[in-house]
Amino acid sequence: MSGPLPAFSGDTSFQNNMPDPLLAGKELPSFKFALDKSVGKVMRQSYGKEATVEQLPISKGLAGVSMKIEPGAMRELHWHATAAEWAFVLEGRVRTTVLDPDGNSETNDFDAGDVWYFPRGHPHMLECLGNSPCRFILIFDNGYFSEFGTFSITDWLGHASPALLAKNLGVPESALAGIPKSEAYFSFGEIPPEKAAPVLAQSAAPAPGAKPPPPLTHRFALMSQPPHRVFNGGREWRVDSTNFPISRTMTGLVLELEPGALRELHWHPNADEWTYILDGNVSMTLFGSHGRYRVEQLDTGDVGYIPQGYGHSIENIGTKTARILIGFNAGIYSAIDLSQWIAGNPADVLATNFGKPAELFSRLPKRDVFIAPKEGPKAD
Ligand code: MN
Ligand code: MN
């Protein structure tokens, strides 16, 4: 039963409860996109391939990019007006420099398995370190965000008048002649020094009085940590704002599922989920109420998307360990797992709900299974 619509109070949060037309149809839309099979933007040996609402219409809450940068190349100085950037390094080494609005600059070097987080609007650059190319996955907390519609320094300064730039930077117009007139996107130069050169100046103004807390780091070595949880059938690594405080709007997981293992039926009350298959072959299910249920197979390099609150599962249907990267658009991890939900109810309630003897439910898991091995969870 629904009552009359409430009067507009100036609170716009109700808009989040309006049905998304894409999700209101008789059938669920596809939630899969073959990201690494797409072409994207290619320059020399470097590329960026993106999954936004353009490529994957269901993915309104999160976008992602698969990027490769060749030795000596750099993703130029830029910022994102409408999204924070979360990254997971797949291979090679990456150096970043990022500036916060207080003028603090941080330069970090990243290896495979490391994560970075740049808050919305904070300017940064990414460059390949060493003689091998680097590859990484970027996840953004806005599905309408496009990596190719970002705010690049060359695009901006190339369109400002030479007189304005000369006045801004205090050098003659002639000194700036020849800078790019349009967006470079990738810039190509020498392989960077192994030890990062200092920035020109740390321009953060000293705060009067008490010493301010040090700025939060943008780097988290996720896969250098022991797993957050280990299961018979798989492992989970987790990074959210509780262990990586700057990551206020994003959470990341890496799951390893042994062949046949299942990340059990569950949903996330607080976030959409963006999934990238690092390695392997999985079957993902999506439940959208009103009898709507959809299954997709995802292989290495494919992306999946689960809207906030929708039921889903991931099963390894391949013959080797599946590795899965997951990003959420919330800074705290939150989930309800089926086994936990059932265990949190009295046996007579479950007996009535399912029309089965109460004894059956005493044989179900009394804990959060999270990952079940191929043969299913042991009774306890
Ligand atoms: Mn960026
Ligand atoms: Mn999930």
Q: For 218-253, what is each residue's pLDDT tens digit?
A: 999 999 999 999 999 999 999 999 999 999 999 999
205 plus 283 within the same structural domain = no
**Is the per-residue pLDDT at 308 higher than 60?**
yes
Q: Looking at the 3D structure of the chain, how many domains does it have?
A: 2
Contact 287, 27 (CB under 8 A): no
Q: Which of 127, 147, 256, 273 is catalytic?
A: 147
pLDDT class for 45, splitting at 50, 70, 90? very high
133 plus 213 within the same structural domain = yes
42 plus 80 within the same structural domain = yes
Residue 293's domain is classified under what CATH number? 2.60.120.10
Residue 354: CB atoms within 10 A of its CB come to: 11
Q: Of 171, 201, 219, which closes a domain?
A: 219
Q: Which of 50, 85, 127, 273 is catalytic?
A: 85
312 plus 174 within the same structural domain = no
85 is catalytic: yes
Question: Which of 9-23, 103-117, 305-319 has the weakest average pLDDT?
Answer: 9-23
Write out the residue range of the structural domain in which residue 144 sits. Answer: 20-219
Which ligand lies nearest to the CA atom of residue 87 in the structure? Answer: 1
184 plus 76 within the same structural domain = yes
195 plus 241 within the same structural domain = no
Residue 92: CB atoms within 10 A of its CB come to: 21
142 plus 166 within the same structural domain = yes
Q: Which of 50, 76, 80, 127 is catalytic?
A: 80
Which ligand lies nearest to the CA atom of residue 78 in the structure? Answer: 1
Residue 331: CB atoms within 10 A of its CB come to: 21
**Pairing outcome for strands 281-287 and 251-257:** unpaired
From ligand 1's centre to the CA of 173, what distance in Å? 29
CA atoms within 13 A on the CB side of 354: 13
Q: Which of 50, 76, 78, 268 is catalytic?
A: 78
Point out which residues pair with 187 in neighbouring strands. Answer: 74
290 is catalytic: no
Q: Nearest Cα to 38, choosing from 22, 23, 24, 54?
A: 54
**Is the per-residue pLDDT at 379 higher than 50?**
yes
Q: What's the rounded Cα separation, in Å, for the pair 98 and 200?
A: 13
Residue 114: CB atoms within 10 A of its CB come to: 20
User: Which protein residues have a CB closer than 5 Å to ligand 2 (ion)?
Assistant: 273
212 plus 248 within the same structural domain = no
pTM: 0.93
Q: Does residue 2 lie within any of the structural domains?
A: no
**Residue at 79: amino acid letter:** W
């479950």: which residue's tokens?
350
Contact 99, 201 (CB under 8 A): no
**Residue at 60: amino acid letter:** K
122 is catalytic: no
332 plus 266 within the same structural domain = yes
């987080």: which residue's tokens?
117
Q: Which of 93, 124, 235, 312 is catalytic?
A: 124
From ligand 2's centre to the CA of 171, what distance in Å? 53
From ligand 2's centre to the CA of 305, what distance in Å? 9
Which ligand lies nearest to the CA atom of residue 285 in the structure? Answer: 2
Question: Which of 27-41, 115-129, 202-216, 243-257 has the weakest average pLDDT?
Answer: 202-216
Point out which residues pair with 286 in neighbouring strands. Answer: 294, 312
Q: What's the rounded Cα separation, in Å, for the pair 247 and 28?
A: 31
Question: Which of 178-187, 203-212, 351-360 has the weakest average pLDDT?
Answer: 203-212
Residue 316: CB atoms within 10 A of its CB come to: 27
236 is catalytic: no
From ligand 1's centre to the CA of 47, what distance in Å? 14
From ligand 1's centre to the CA of 84, what distance in Å? 8
Q: Does residue 96 lie within any of the structural domains?
A: yes
78 plus 215 within the same structural domain = yes
From ligand 2's centre to the CA of 268, what distance in Å? 6
Q: Does residue 184 lie within any of the structural domains?
A: yes
75 is catalytic: yes
Which ligand lies nearest to the CA atom of residue 335 in the structure? Answer: 2
Q: Does residue 4 lie within any of the structural domains?
A: no
pLDDT one-digit tens code per residue, 256-304:
999 999 999 999 999 999 999 999 999 999 999 999 999 999 999 999 9
Which whole number is the average pLDDT over 189-213?
81
Q: Does residue 329 lie within any of the structural domains?
A: yes
Q: What's the rounded Cα separation, in Å, for the pair 28 and 23?
A: 6
Q: What's the rounded Cα separation, in Å, for the pair 347 and 327?
A: 35
Q: Does residue 6 lie within any of the structural domains?
A: no
Which whole number is the average pLDDT over 108-120?
98
Which ligand lies nearest to the CA atom of residue 76 in the structure? Answer: 1
208 plus 242 within the same structural domain = no
Distance of CA 278 to the CA centre of its chain: 13
Q: Residue 207: CB partners within 8 Å, gap ≥ 6?
A: none
Burial readout 273-290 (b: 16 or more C-beta within 10 A, e: otherwise)? bbbbbbbbbbebbbbbee
Q: Of 186, 219, 252, which closes a domain?
A: 219
CA angle 201, 204, 209 (to 5 degrees): 140
Calculate what percentage of the chain has a pLDDT beyond 70: 93
Distance of CA 187 to the CA centre of its chain: 25
209 plus 239 within the same structural domain = no
Residue 201 phi, psi dihedral angles, 5° rounding: -160, 135
Q: Of 199, 219, 239, which closes a domain?
A: 219
Q: Which of 50, 75, 218, 236 is catalytic?
A: 75
Q: Does residue 12 lie within any of the structural domains?
A: no
Residue 136: CB atoms within 10 A of its CB come to: 22
């680097």: which residue's tokens?
134
pLDDT at 1: 38
Distance spanning both ends of the chain, measured CA to CA: 41
Q: What's the rounded Cα separation, in Å, for the pair 71 and 315?
A: 37
Calculate what percentage of the chain has a pLDDT beyond 90: 88
124 is catalytic: yes
Q: Does residue 182 lie within any of the structural domains?
A: yes
The mean predicted confidence, pLDDT, of the chain is 93
